[in-house]
Structure 1
Amino acid sequence: MSIAVKRVYEPAAKSDGYRVLVDRLWPRGLTKEEAALDEWPKELAPSTALRQWFGHDPTRWEGFRHRYATELDAAAEYWQPLASMASRRRVTLLYGARDDEHNNAVALKCYLEAWLKAHGPH
């Protein structure tokens, strides 16, 4: 199992494997070529309401993770194929936020890893 997290503004690398943008909004100032995405499933991003509530405030991180997990629970058809792929090859979750520790890609990585640990590869 291999899930990585990387800021979308960092240059793409072969070691990234399958590159997935997990933000709802396109990153400012970045071309599609620079992003070098394999997939952009907007359904995996936190809802607009949740994103606005969180506002990248680290004091709301645990609440954000819990609420985002609830949203993901209802969207399994979007993340289960990604979890399955991550059990076979490297998947890199890309995000645009400046905070490397408190963003939806980090939360999604934890969610997917916990699911894979509990259910095994599919």
Structure 2
Amino acid sequence: MSVRVRRIYESPEPDDGLRVLVDRLWPRGVAKEAAHVDEWPKGLTPSAELRTWFHGGGSYEEFRARYEAELAAPEAAELLDGLRESVRKGPVTLLTATKTPERSHAQVLLELLGG
């Protein structure tokens, strides 16, 4: 079982396994063919309101709590379960455009998936 986070601007690597974009918006300057994205579950991404609040100066700890609450909603919970199943089958790489993946929704997902 292997899951990790990488920036989508980095070149794909052979050991990436399933490449999952975990951002709601497609990253600027990245061609879809070059990104090699296998899945894009937009229902797993933070809501627009939560993203705006966080980027407006909200604390990471509060963001994390609010995001985990959003992930408990039925649609998101189902998508998260599907991603857990993918992790059980092989390597998964969570892709994000954020400049600080270690303090983002991608890190929250990584930890929830056991990474």
Return the TM-score normalized by structure 1.
0.87
Q: Quote the offset at 1:88 in angstroms.
A: 2.2
Paired residue type of 1:55: H
> Which fold has the larger relative contact order, with Cα–Cα distance below 8 Å and residues 6 or more apart in sequence?
2
| Residue 28 of structure 1 pairs with residue 28 of structure 2 | yes
Q: Structure 2: how far apart are the matches of 1:30 and 1:85?
A: 25
Secondary structure of 2:64's partner? helix
- 1:59-87 C-alpha deviation (Å, 9 max, x unpaired): 61111111111111112111111101102
1:118 alignment partner in structure 2: none
Alignment of 1:11-90 (within 5 A): 11-55=11-55, 57=57, 60-74=59-73, 75-90=76-91
Contact 1:95 1:104 in 2 (8 A): no
Q: Quote the offset at 1:8 in angstroms.
A: 0.5
| Structure 1: runs of 5+ lacking an equivalent | 115-122
| Residue 91 of structure 1 pairs with residue 89 of structure 2 | no
Secondary structure of 2:71's partner? helix
RMSD: 1.5
| Structure 2: runs of 5+ lacking an equivalent | none
Q: Quote the offset at 1:56 in angstroms.
A: 7.6
* Length, aligned pairs only: 113
Paired residue type of 2:106: A
How many percent of aligned residue pairs carry the same amino acid?
A: 48
> Which consecutive segments of 4 or more residues in structure 1 shift more than 2 A?
none
1:120 alignment partner in structure 2: none
